[in-house]
Structure 1
Amino acid sequence: MKISNKAFASTMIFFLLILPLTHSFNYQQALSISLLYFESQRSGRLPYNQRLTWRHHSGLTDGLHQGVDLVGGYYDAGDNVKFGLPMAFTVTMLSWGVIEYGEQIAAAGEYIHALEAIKWGTDYFIKAHPHPNVLWAQVGDGATDHYCWQRPEDMTTSRQAYKIDENNPGSDVAGETAAAMAAAAIVFSRTNPHYSHLLLHHAEELFEFGDKYRGKYDESIEVVKGYYPSASGYMDELLWAATWLYKASGKEEYLKYVIENALDFGGISWAINEFSWDIKYAGLQILASMLAVEEKQKEEKLIVEAYKSKAEHYLCSCLNKSSTNNNLKRTPGGLLYTRKWNNLQYVTTATFLLTLYSDHLESSNQRLRCSNDDEVGPEEMLSLAKSQVDYILGENPMGMSYLVGFGGRYPERVHHRGASMESVKEKRGFIGCVQGYDDWYGRVDGNPNVLMGAVVGGPNERDEFNDERSNFRQTEACTYNTAPLVGVFARFNQLQSQNHDF
């Protein structure tokens, strides 16, 4: 009997879905660990309930020379700079996770910690936005910071702060910060309505500022170009912010903006197969595709359908079913692969969007159409998302968990200044700029402090991983790597508790 390729593929998918796991991961533990990571990245005066006790106060004079209080916020990765664009994206993704999976996070006992992680960022954004048309978008200088290997508590590097304003625009960072505050406003609308209102006020002002004074922030703050340049420009962030503002406020003017600028700003013309701190189109398209539009608004409905079409292009690319052959590559071990530097950031965002859209299809009784003869059900999307999460947690050719602190084997030499040196609480003596490199950076031993919950850059295109501190492309972790997984871990924990074979 001859079996067609399509029938064979369908049969294999069916068996993959019903077979029990070769590994049974504790998603609740992964969730708890992931939220610890944001405490390790805190800048400023740490609170009394700080759980990662090897960290201490740092950056307590940030903004002093500019006459503004910029104490707080997050360090983005293994350095001691506060970069506004990735920090804002981190908070947006944390907030989106809580919006979609707040009940599951609460059921796992981590709701308060999730809100604390978001608020640590939004409290800082409020400080960084002291006037309607001013946003402080960076503290510290990447060049001088990377010259030194110091604990954040010992910093001697420049704490120069950089802002955008009417004469030095930055619509991308203004838009992403507006999106973060709008999404967080939804999160806090029940538990802290006053704070929610304050966040929404700042979000609306920032969006108006970013839209009125248009420009790329890396042209106003040139020192950021070597670290977080805005390759996609600012149009995706403006559409992204407007969509979040519509969800947060319900004001029709924001929906009108998303509809009227959909074509010119690339929302329904760009077909993208990555979602990141820089390129928001895929996330925007999925968010916009799920907007509720009244039946009588025919034009709006058509534009939302166009957003949906582009969203599905991204999802089909992840599933290796794109009709345009613009599929994401995969490693031999099955990991989605975008590029060699910090590839897992793209995997975690893809995993979040796949999980979210799978739930959307399930609840609306729909299927994903990737081509005329190829439809995908929600279970297949969820299966792909799960395979990526399980790969990160240890089901991979290296047998390595890329979530630090999870499982029996994980990276021990994470490229991270604070984690790689003895805690300031254990070794109170000052560690100088070059001394850190001389005494700590090149050590063969593992880091003295475990960077719990960090998702490192991950393996290369051949599933290989070299656990060396100097191998920053693979061993450095970033806040925006972990943030998308918070909601996903909570959702998978719920599914696991409902079905032991999940």
Structure 2
Amino acid sequence: YHPSSGKQSGSLNSPKGWYDAGDYNKYVVNASFPLGQFFLLEEQYPNSVADGDLNIPESGNGISDYLDELKYEMDWVLTMQDEDGGMFHKLTTKNFEGMVMPHEATNQKYIVGKGTAASLDFAGAAAQAARIFMPYDSIYAEKCLQAAKKAYNWSLENPQLEFVNPEDISTGQYGDTNFDDEFFWATSQLFITTSDNSYLEHLKKEDIDFNYSPGDGWTKFMRFMGIFTLLENKSLLPDELYVTFREGILNTADDLTMRTKTNDYFQCVDDFQWGSNSDVLNTAMIIAQAYRLEKKPEYLTAVRQAADYILGNNAVGYSFVTGFGDNPPMFIHHRQSAADGIVDPVPGLLSGGPNKDKQDVTDGVVYPENVTPMKSWVDHEDSYASNEICLNWNSPITYILGFLEQESK
């Protein structure tokens, strides 16, 4: 344990889980929020990936390979809960490892920090997991639900505990100062899972912002994830509240769809920040929910155009997904891909995308001279600002591709 965890000694057995990005660290915030996006596909389109489809060790166990893979991450996040219900923030080394293979990344790892954001994001994901796993493993589902309740109650008692990296820790911070969106997501998931009206009373008091702003990502987009789940469960909501959520999503989707008619390459984003590809896909998720409410052809077209952008119809002429398309990225910022001795990178990983701020130029990354925001991307493994991979980028593309596969049948 790092002292920031609140414990002065000891260690924690914390196996399983996915590495978050191009590094070898694991973060509760950016495990839980992506899990919510992954879970949404399973809730809306069950068994899209059947048992045996992925040829993983769990194949043949009678459960979707997709759920088996998500459980592997959920199992890890469950280990990060303290006895009092609060969530430790991350499991990392003090500094990022070099471009080496996992078995060569041997620096000491630490349980670092504790905070409201991690606890609420976990509560949302764990409450969702309880619903999804109930038909397959009721004991595991109940474990997830009880853990979600504990994390939520801890957050009510610690509503403003912000995580900031300690002085000796330089790995991803995933910080936030406003937890309204996290509270809304966790409350929504717990209400739908439990039907407990005490959660509904909290929801009634929320003032929801339906506008999407580039960069929302893992700090704010979870409010939309809460709305998506609530809209899927109309029978549990008061009519007035349901209408508010429905109209809010439809109005936002209409605005985003209109942007595709004037923006270059027919997608919704005109402000290219860190992980801009996730902004393209998150806006597409909003439009996809609108399509589930009203089968307007223009909604489906807009979602397809977002996928087209990601897969090559963009200003740099690359597919942003490794291993797919005529011109995919070859040099992503990803340690396994850089160190495994294989020319091609690990397939199926989404590059972050154009980033006007180019934070990595101070580390020697070279972009084209006077490059425009939409072209601020380079296929170079040092470009962590434009060409890194990350869980909360792969989760919306998984949803969008699954949505299009199912809705195009």
Query: What TM-score do you get using the length of structure 1 for normalisation?
Result: 0.67
Change (3 A) 1:109 1:81: closer
Question: Corresponding residue for 1:492?
Answer: 404
- Contact 2:25–2:92, Cα closer than 8 Å, also in 1: yes
Distance in 1 (alpha carbons) for counterparts of 2:392 and 2:126:
16
The one of 209, 213, 220 aligned to 1:273: 213
Please name the residue that 1:380 is paired with.
298
Tell whether the 8 Å contact from 2:36 to 2:225 is kept in structure 1 after alignment.
no
2:96 paired residue number: 145
What are the superposed Cα offsets for residues 320-352 of structure 1, whole Å, 9 maximum, x if unpaired? 36xxxxxx9976223333433220111222222
Q: CA, structure 1 residues 303+230, in 2 after alignment: closer, same or farther (shift >3 Å)?
A: farther
Q: Secondary structure at the match of 1:123?
A: helix
Does 2:142 correspond to 1:197? Answer: yes
Establish whether residue 456 from structure 1 lines up as the match of residue 351 from structure 2.
Answer: yes
User: Is 1:356 the counterpart of 2:289 in the alignment?
Assistant: yes
Contact 2:377 2:386 in 1 (8 A): yes
In the alignment, the residues of structure 1 paired with residue 24 and residue 305 of structure 2 have an alpha-carbon distance, to the nearest angstrom, of 33
Secondary structure in structure 2 of the residue aligned to 1:160: strand
Question: Which of residues 403, 412, 416 is equivalent to 2:321?
Answer: 403
Quick one: structure 1 residues 291 and 190, their matched pair in 2 at CA, closer, same or farther if it must change by over 3 Å?
Answer: closer
Is 2:131 the partner of 1:236? no
Shift of 1:473: 1.8
**How many Å apart are 1:202 and its aligned residue?**
0.8
2:74 match: 122
Aligned-residue CA RMSD (Å): 3.0
| Residue aligning to 1:316 | 254
Q: SS of the residue aligned with 2:266?
A: coil
Which of 347, 351, 358 is 2:280 aligned to?
347
Q: Deviations over 1:422-471 (max 9, x none)?
A: 26xxxxxxxxxxxxxxxxxxxxxxx6352211110123533464211122
Query: Could you report, residue by residue, the CA deviation over 1:388-436 in whole angstroms, capped at 9, with x for unpaired residues?
Result: 112212233444211111123210001011110126xxxxxxxxxxxxx
Change (3 A) 1:330 1:186: farther
Match of 1:134, SS state, is coil
Q: Tell me how far apart the structure 1 counterparts of residues 226 and 272 of structure 2 sit (CA, whole Å).
A: 22
Structure 2 CA distance for aligned equivalents of residues 205 and 224 of structure 1: 28
Structure with more contact order per residue of length (Cα contacts < 8 Å, sep ≥ 6):
1
State the alpha-carbon separation in 1 of the partners of residues 111 and 261 from structure 2. 39
Q: Which has the larger radius of gyration?
A: 1
1:134 to 62, 82, 86: 86
Structure 2 residue matching 1:117: 3-state secondary structure: helix
Report the counterpart of residue 72 of structure 1 in structure 2: 16
Which shows bigger deviation, 353-362 or 172-181?
353-362
1:90-489 mapped onto 2 (5 Å cutoff): 90-106=34-50, 109=53, 112-141=64-93, 144-145=95-96, 148-164=98-114, 170-219=115-164, 227-231=172-176, 233-260=178-205, 262-263=206-207, 268-269=208-209, 271-274=211-214, 275-279=216-220, 280-289=222-231, 291-292=233-234, 300-320=238-258, 332-337=264-269, 338-362=271-295, 378-422=296-340, 448=343, 450-459=345-354, 461-463=373-375, 465-489=377-401
SS in 1 for 2:89: strand
Residue 96 of structure 2 aligns to which amino acid in structure 1?
Answer: D
CA distance in 1 between counterparts of 2:226 and 2:173 reads 20
Tell me the alpha carbon deviations over residues 40-86 of structure 1, each in whole angstroms, 9 at most, x when there is no partner: xxxxxxxxxxxxxxxxxxxxxxx9x6332122222211011211111
- What residue is the counterpart of 1:373 in the other structure? none
CA separation of 1:330/1:70 partners in 2, compared to 1, >3 Å: closer, same or farther?
Answer: farther
Q: Distance in 1 between matches of 2:217 and 2:102?
A: 26
Aligned to 1:86: 30
Whether the 8 Å contact between 1:172 and 1:235 is mirrored in structure 2 is no
- Against the structure 1 CA distance between its residues 397 and 223, is the aligned structure 2 distance closer, same or farther, given a 3 Å change threshold? same
1:38: which partner in 2? Answer: none
Does the 8 A contact of 1:76 with 1:87 survive in 2?
yes
Cα distance change on mapping 1:92 and 1:133 into 2, 3 Å: same
Do the aligned partners of 1:276 and 1:345 also contact (CA within 8 Å) in 2?
yes
* Equivalent residue letter for 1:388: A
| Contact persistence 2:49–2:64 (CA under 8 A) | no
- Equivalent pairs, count: 375
Structure 1 position 250, deviation (Å): 1.9
List runs of 5+ in structure 2 lacking aligned partners: 1-6, 55-62, 356-372
Q: 2: CA distance between counterparts of 1:174 and 1:200?
A: 13
Equivalent pair of 2:210/2:252 in contact (CA under 8 Å):
no
Query: 2:285 is aligned with what amino acid?
Result: F
Alignment partner, residue 57 of structure 2? none
How far the C-alpha of 1:306 sits from its partner, in A, is: 3.5
- SS class of match (1:320): helix
Assess if the C-alpha contact under 8 Å between 2:20 and 2:31 holds in 1: yes
Q: Partners of 1:388 and 1:272 in 2: how far apart?
A: 15
SS at the partner of 2:350? coil
Partner secondary structure for residue 137 of structure 1? strand
Distance 2:161 2:299 in 1: 35
Provide the secondary structure at the position in 1 that maps to 2:264: coil
The gaps in structure 1 that reach 5 residues or longer are 1-62, 165-169, 322-327, 363-377, 424-446
Please state how far the C-alpha of 1:310 moved relative to its aligned partner.
Answer: 3.9
Matched-pair identity in %: 17
Distance (Å, rounded) in 1 between the aligned partners of 2:279 and 2:346: 21
Q: Which residue identity lines up with residue 149 of structure 1 in the other structure?
A: M
